[in-house]
Structure 1
């Protein structure tokens, strides 16, 4: 081979290396996007499941066995949360989820102090660790505005925040649960 052919061969190899690197970068970017989407879908699923679980409970401790016609027997805003001695999964009303935390781990069981519940999920995501944090408050609802209030109302809002070290963004979900009394 002469010098011209050698330069053409080296140029072809450099071009081939650049094409291979570009294709690999494309595959990696696609893989990252797919994993981010899977983590986000799982986070939304976990948050929605928690909201549905809370919505299946009574509106308040005073409404779990009887009906009420005034807001007087409802818990004060600063007492929202589980009653004394009540622990998850034995919550019986919506506001018991105030300040509730859950850590969902994909591949291990981890005992966390301070009452944070840990759930083991059979998952293909080996690093999919999620933390769910809940806040419950009274709200007033008018037209399309929801505002937090310290007064007892017929509506409570549950806000669920889902975070994970594997996700760039935080997933925030909320629902409003209202008590309806019909005579």
Structure 2
């Protein structure tokens, strides 16, 4: 296998300077040093510095770890989907085995919801880091069969089935068999 195939794919195409500025602003608003955030998120200090400066294009797993440590939804770092009046396009977010397109962000006083169109590629599992306390995921399968949920006790679902779990623990997504899974994913973030 060549080294290009082994390298993790970047989380998003372009827009890293904006994402980096948002992460730096969130870190500084909370009075957290670069070293402390890197340590808490389990990422290298050089990786975090490069991300904040717009010179690194991290994996989705890295962005999840950083936003979990900051206690914010992923969209706080990557931005929200475009409105009908906007010319902005939403990048596809990629993990080891997933590709997600942010469709909508819903907010109320106590909770933020992110709705994604999700494809889980056959052939590779994805282990996602824990989100902040109280976050839950709700997944509805449209095609394919998957195993997803807490890493120690994943659930299975096929077409037309729905599963949900607390995602404040490491969790997995695996397409079972040789067919990609197409699903809708709703992530519920209680405010800290």
TM range (shorter): under 0.3
Pick the structure with more helix per residue: 1
Whichever of the two has the greater Rg, that structure is 1
TM-score w.r.t. the length of structure 1 is: 0.26
Pick the structure with more strand per residue: 2
